[in-house]
Structure 1
Amino acid sequence: MKRIHVDNYAPKYYSGKWSWDTEKDCLHFEAHNDLENARERFITTNGYKFLRTMDQEEELIFRQEYVRPKSNNSDTVVIRDIRDLVLYLMPQEFLSYKFVNFMHTPQVHALLHSLIIYFEYYLRLVEFVLIRRDELSGQMAQVQSAQTNDMKQTFSVYLSQYRLLVARNYCLIIGGEGDMAKFYHMKPISNISATIHDKYFHEHFLAVAIQIVWICLHRRAYFIIEMEMNRLFRSEHFVSARPEYLHFTPAERSLLYGRNKKNFNYRIQDSPLIQELKLVLEEDMPILWIGERKYRGSDPRIAQMELEYITPGSQLSLIDISHGILGHPKKLYNTLLSLDWPAVRFSNFSEQYDPYHIIRRPFLEIPQLGELKIRQMSEKYEHFYELSRIFEVCTPQHISKWVRRTSHIEFFKSGGLLTNVVSRCEKELASSSKGPRVDQIIANYFKVMSKIRKDDKEGDRESITTLRAGSVVSRVSLSRASRKTL
């Protein structure tokens, strides 16, 4: 890739490929905007073509019109940044008002968050399985011990717990209650299912979810993510047999898919997410309340999962946990959220100083022997606190702007004005208008600052308790049911 440092009007990402010019006997750079039908421009996800890259003009439009505005965490990568990038790269047929509105709901945000956590651990476990496959084969094969089998069982249970968290968030969506009622496939009066529409709606969401998780996890192991995502939401009967997909042995499948996986006839087959909810162990029941109420108990595993889940993506470095590129500084990434290795080198990261796990590679922590039996003896106490989440609701105007994405791009490409900070300042200096009054400027300033600091005033809450978990501060409010107990 060619990268040129110019002013902020020029794009940050030069997309194209190098080829050898035999006539001039030198290298020649060919931009992707000259390769409209090139294979490198698109990536196919579940049969839909997503843009793999963008040309310089498309990047300028994205940065000016669709990049997340300034907020208290605008200098770090969060889920919204990845979602906006995928919405810009996805096909035109996805851009319906209903689907874009669905992608901006807090329930979908929670599902994407749990999927990122699940696949972060899943890819580590797949790597462990492939390494053990090599160690157990060949002339120098190793012999497995009882401790190895105990460790594998613990890894499988941990992965099932992350899968249970995904299943919980997924069922809140398909239940069709509350804010999800308008996306439910059954019409409220006639009770007739919109089967065809719901089918394409589900297909579109799966394709977008694959892209979001893939980009968040540094664009690695694409086919493993695609295969597992389709298995989670469809079941194995509807996963395509592609040569790029890995083939696991029965023992490896038992390790990766957990003890609740059962295959039936495809007519009565439940997805693996629903199967996880049908048989939940007693010690895993508090996982269903993670993010809804504060866990009170002696199980360190659930306390760790809760801390990992309720910590905002922009503050993951405070608890020394890596979820892909979440919480990483934006200055280390280009517009397509790919690592800018020159910027990484100038940051002077090392094994001793690497808060974002860029130099330190993710790994599996070896559990203690007998940890599953210890968890069965953990104690649970009555909960007193409910967690209150802050979610910025998307306006209808912003959703309509995404729906008109193609027309906006065509307008700017046909001669619409693309401005940067310098050109806007020059235009304002040349203007003869006096501008807004001083009191209006001050009022707008305080309005913006209150939004950045998220100074939400909750008058109907009697008290707000601040709990410190590690280095992260979680805002919780006292539940009415437990006030009498206190």
Structure 2
Amino acid sequence: MMQRIHVDSSAPKYQSGKWSWDKKSEALRFEQYFDLDDADERYINTNGYKFLRTFTQEEELIFRQVFVRPDTSYDADTVMINDVRDLVLFLMPKEFLHIKFLEFMHQPLVHRLLHGLIIYFEYFLRLVEFVLIRRDEIAGEMAQMQSEQTNEIKRIWSSYLSQYRILVARDYSTIITGEGDFKKFYHTKEIVNISSKIKDRYFHEQFLAVATQIVWITMHRRAYYLIEMEMNRLFRSEHFIANRPEYLKFSPAERCLLYGRNNKLVNYQKQTSPLIQELKNIVDEDMPILWIGERRYRGSDPRIAELELEYMVPGLQLRLIDIAHGILGHPKMLYNTLLSVDWPSVRYSNFSSEHDPYHIVGQPNLRIPNIDEAELRKMSQNLERFYKVFRIYEPTKRETLMNWSKREKIINYYHTGGILQNIYTRCEKQLVIDEKRPEVEQVVSNFLDVMQKLRKGKN
């Protein structure tokens, strides 16, 4: 039997399972998921791969003690992209656990690509909700008429969505060209110039599946099929979208609003992805978008300045500019281990429509733009850009990547008798085992380094 421990610092935050009606006893009965290993409720299918939808209490303890981002990292008490990524890496299938894919997912440019995708889908889901509401308003016996101003606002919103796609396409195009650090991930081998098509296809499909899961969890786990459908359309084309009943069907007018004026569907042999289509047809006033995050924008275009602010402000400080990107920047105390909202914690926080810094209580909305915004942007002035943006990205240690690659072995170790340790058992072990310990001066130095890293120390 496996030895179990239960302390406040390592205990599960919730019971993993489902409620069902027991006809014999005529009462509700709770079934934990470790008794339902083959149940459909435990898995979710993404692009043909089975991801865990939840985990058992034992798996939760393993994840929290072995794989969760340590307290010594930046803003450990706040949800960031790395937290969502680590959760998806734990929930993803074991065939994804090869060192090349893990290195790829921890690259800074991939981090920026995921950041751009989260911003894009935040706005895309809001616009789809508007489309569905508007679909009901203009149909039926009480149908409403549309004015020219309404159509103009829709065109502006559609251009906004295209601008977010440009941000995603810029980073994606850099990755697929295999430049710099991505040379080792490129599908064509040097000298012989032979492409590994099969390996590259599986690598691409695995990334799309993981990206879909990351965006879905970040968006409060809503509109899963819509996110999966749009993710495949963005990186492939509409030729690769399966005909599933769960996917929404849009009219030509709705497609024009959501997909933009650059979307072209041709023969599948000549088809390019919508992301590349955006890069091929950038209007002059949107050209500064390509420099966002690289150089500081200097000009009078308010839309470019707004985009730069939304993109450059880290997810941890989004509440300071009153913008929401899913769960990014929210306190971890409001979420459980699966990064689902813990509503009792939210209620105790006393959020309201007047006090909602994390946009948890309020309904997502679209800002109504100035009706003349498109014309004003054409008259804006762009100055020379010479302020380069310096990024801070916490590198991933090789030991962390190797730890992820051995995920299945680590889980099996604890399943077959390994002891999940807490602070008390670790201290007892250190007292019993005679191991080499650092000097007091070194311990103090390490402590001060950590405090300075967390911006809590004094210079």
In which range does the TM-score fall when normalised by the shorter chain? over 0.9
Read off the aligned partner of 1:316 and give its amino acid letter. L
Alignment of 1:9-408 (within 5 A): 9-70=10-71, 71-408=73-410
- How far apart are residue 131 of structure 1 and its match? 0.6
3-state SS of paired residue (2:388): strand
Cα pair 2:7 2:422 within 8 Å, conserved: no
Read off the aligned partner of 2:331 and give its amino acid letter. P
* In structure 2, C-alpha distance between the alignment counterparts of 1:250 and 1:61, rounded to whole Å: 49
What does the per-residue CA deviation read over 1:6-36, in whole Å, with 9 as the maximum and x for residues that have no partner?
7233211311011233444432211000001
Read off the aligned partner of 2:267 and give its amino acid letter. N
Cα pair 2:10 2:65 within 8 Å, conserved: no
3-state SS of paired residue (1:387): coil
- How far apart are residue 437 of structure 1 and its match? 2.0
* In structure 2, C-alpha distance between the alignment counterparts of 1:173 and 1:278, rounded to whole Å: 17
In structure 2, the gaps of 5 or more residues are 1-5
Corresponding residue of 2:417 = 415
TM normalised by structure 1 equals 0.90
- How far apart are residue 359 of structure 1 and its match? 0.8
- How far apart are residue 370 of structure 1 and its match? 1.4
- How far apart are residue 434 of structure 1 and its match? 8.9
3-state SS of paired residue (2:364): coil
* In structure 2, C-alpha distance between the alignment counterparts of 1:433 and 1:244, rounded to whole Å: 58
* In structure 1, C-alpha distance between the alignment counterparts of 2:75 and 2:444, rounded to whole Å: 23
Read off the aligned partner of 1:372 and give its amino acid letter. A
Indicate the structure whose relative CO is greater, using CA pairs within 8 Å and at least 6 residues apart: 2
* In structure 2, C-alpha distance between the alignment counterparts of 1:431 and 1:401, rounded to whole Å: 24
3-state SS of paired residue (1:389): coil
Corresponding residue of 1:461 = none
In structure 1, the gaps of 5 or more residues are 456-486
Corresponding residue of 2:3 = none
3-state SS of paired residue (2:19): strand
3-state SS of paired residue (1:17): strand
* In structure 1, C-alpha distance between the alignment counterparts of 2:184 and 2:145, rounded to whole Å: 56
* In structure 2, C-alpha distance between the alignment counterparts of 1:227 and 1:158, rounded to whole Å: 20
Higher mean displacement: 41-50 or 310-319 = 310-319
* In structure 1, C-alpha distance between the alignment counterparts of 2:340 and 2:358, rounded to whole Å: 15
- How far apart are residue 149 of structure 1 and its match? 0.6
Read off the aligned partner of 1:364 and give its amino acid letter. L
* In structure 2, C-alpha distance between the alignment counterparts of 1:454 and 1:264, rounded to whole Å: 56
- How far apart are residue 423 of structure 1 and its match? 3.2
Q: CA RMSD in A?
A: 1.6
Cα pair 2:316 2:330 within 8 Å, conserved: yes
- How far apart are residue 449 of structure 1 and its match? 2.7
Read off the aligned partner of 2:241 and give its amino acid letter. V
3-state SS of paired residue (1:186): coil
3-state SS of paired residue (1:440): helix
Read off the aligned partner of 2:209 and give its amino acid letter. A
- How far apart are residue 443 of structure 1 and its match? 2.0
3-state SS of paired residue (1:27): strand
Corresponding residue of 1:443 = 445
What does the per-residue CA deviation read over 1:465-485, in whole Å, with 9 as the maximum and x for residues that have no partner?
xxxxxxxxxxxxxxxxxxxxx
* In structure 2, C-alpha distance between the alignment counterparts of 1:278 and 1:254, rounded to whole Å: 18
- How far apart are residue 440 of structure 1 and its match? 1.6
Higher mean displacement: 113-122 or 11-20 = 11-20
What does the per-residue CA deviation read over 1:439-462, in whole Å, with 9 as the maximum and x for residues that have no partner?
12112213323433499xxxxxxx
What does the per-residue CA deviation read over 1:244-272, in whole Å, with 9 as the maximum and x for residues that have no partner?
00000000000000000111110010000
Read off the aligned partner of 1:292 and give its amino acid letter. E
What does the per-residue CA deviation read over 1:224-258, in whole Å, with 9 as the maximum and x for residues that have no partner?
00000000011011111110000000000000000
Cα pair 2:62 2:411 within 8 Å, conserved: yes
Higher mean displacement: 432-441 or 68-77 = 432-441
- How far apart are residue 100 of structure 1 and its match? 0.4
* In structure 2, C-alpha distance between the alignment counterparts of 1:372 and 1:190, rounded to whole Å: 50
* In structure 1, C-alpha distance between the alignment counterparts of 2:291 and 2:10, rounded to whole Å: 47
* In structure 2, C-alpha distance between the alignment counterparts of 1:72 and 1:182, rounded to whole Å: 29
* In structure 2, C-alpha distance between the alignment counterparts of 1:258 and 1:9, rounded to whole Å: 48
Q: Percent identity?
A: 64
Count of residues in Structure 1 that have an aligned counterpart in Structure 2 = 451
3-state SS of paired residue (1:408): helix
* In structure 1, C-alpha distance between the alignment counterparts of 2:95 and 2:430, rounded to whole Å: 39
